[in-house]
Amino acid sequence: MAHIRRKGSGRWQVRYRDPSGVERAQNFKRRADAERFLVTIEADKVRGSWTDPRLGRMLVADWLPTWQASRVHLRASTRALTDSLLRNHVLPHFGDRQLASVTPTDVQAFIAHLEEKGLAASTIRQCYLVVTGIFGSAFESDIIARTPCRGINLPTAQHTEMRFLTPDEVEDLASAIDDRYRAFVITAAYTGCRFGELAGLRVDRIDLLRRSLTVVESLSDVNGRVRLTPPKTTSARRQIALPRYAVQALEDHLARWPLGQDGLVFTSPTGGPLRRTNFRRRVWVPAVRASVGEPLRFHDLRHTHAALLIAQGEHPKVIQTRLGHSSIQVTLDTYGHLFDGLDEAAADHLDEITARTRADSLRTPGLQTPREITR
């Protein structure tokens, strides 16, 4: 039975048993503090939220290896990003703090600190996700009673403005870029594939006779190591029908340029895998400046593909499938503003249909009823 006693030193001691039956003690200067502690302990035991206060004194840096060991099946790029955020931002701020000592106010102060440093809103959100993971795992492991990551105000993410090219502009860009990457540009614009998906495209994933391209892997470049990895989501693994224009560009490319290692279709001038940074600096930016003008990211070719499909009235489900979005909601959230004009176009089409119907009814003679026919 939990109880309070006064020690010879004049301090008040609470003695109680934890949920496992182990007897514990906690000393206080005042009896009132001891009584409050006792009530809290008993309530936590009833609610099942009791935690060992000694574990809460563990430093964040000491808990980190346990948290990292629990994060399995991560992509190499995700793990590299997390390590960078930990090293540069999270550990310098929280590393020497006890887990149980961190409060929501401390986390909010961390967010404000990152804003003062001038970090982008997206980077701050990534840092917060790391902090949430650390304290969330400590909470789930009964190290702390509550996570401090609650009620935190995060900066509003600034969405990068998309640029959509016209078919003529796509052709201008494809003509201005190094001949080795003409098909790379055309395929990106008319399939919506990501850079890594095309850089990791192998020849056995293309069926020009059936006009299809299959995405089953992506080329990643993490810490200087290039390798083929599975797509981020199951929906990103997909088969895409190719327009004849893209088929012709790929046929010309395969006839002219040798395949790389593992049958890679698009390679560097030396035959190695395409590295995004080198490609952008040496090939992409000069071609953009010489044709459609900056700013233009390679990812804007993916946006261009979506815009072209929307302009011709394709169903959002078709667009979702071709882009490999995890849900149709992602498609609508990303490109919903491009559908606005289609509503008016739909109304105009309905007017055309009704106008034709009314015109046909005026030209068609009235039908005789069965009674009139029998007469």
What average pLDDT does range 230-250 have in this prediction? 94
pTM (2 d.p.): 0.71
Q: What pLDDT score does 372 carry? A: 46
Please write the tens of the pLDDT for every residue from 118-130.
998 999 999 999 9
pLDDT the model gives residue 325 = 94
Average confidence (pLDDT) over 15-20: 71
Q: Which residues contact 357 (CB under 8 A, 6 or more apart)?
A: none
Burial of 128 (0-12, 13-18, 19+ CB in 10 A): buried
Q: Whole-angstrom Cα distance, residue 292 to residue 163?
A: 11
Angle 234-239-242 (CA atoms, 0-180°, nearest 5)? 150
pLDDT at 133: 95
CA nearest neighbour of 127 among 92, 159, 161: 92
Distance of CA 108 to CAs 23, 83, 304, Å? 37, 22, 39
Please tell me which of 6-15, 150-159, 289-298, 363-372 the model is most confident about, judged by mean pLDDT.
289-298
pLDDT above 90 as % of the chain: 60
Whole-number pLDDT of residue 350:
76
pLDDT at position 54 is 66
Closest CA to 194 of 305, 82, 326: 305
* Mean pLDDT across 79-105: 93
For residue 209, give every residue at least 6 positions away whose Cβ sits within 8 Å of its Cβ, in sequence order, or none: none
Q: Taking all residues of the chain, what is their mean pLDDT, rounded to a whole number?
A: 87
Q: Calculate mean pLDDT across residues 320-332.
A: 93
Cβ–Cβ under 8 Å, residues 66 and 137 = yes
| Beta-bridge partner residues of 100 | none
Cβ atoms 270, 264 nearer than 8 A: no
Does residue 341 register a pLDDT over 70? Answer: no
The percentage of the chain sitting over the pLDDT mark of 70, rounded to a whole number, equals 89
44 exposure class (CB count in 10 Å sphere: 0-12, 13-18, 19+): middle
The pLDDT of residue 373 is: 43
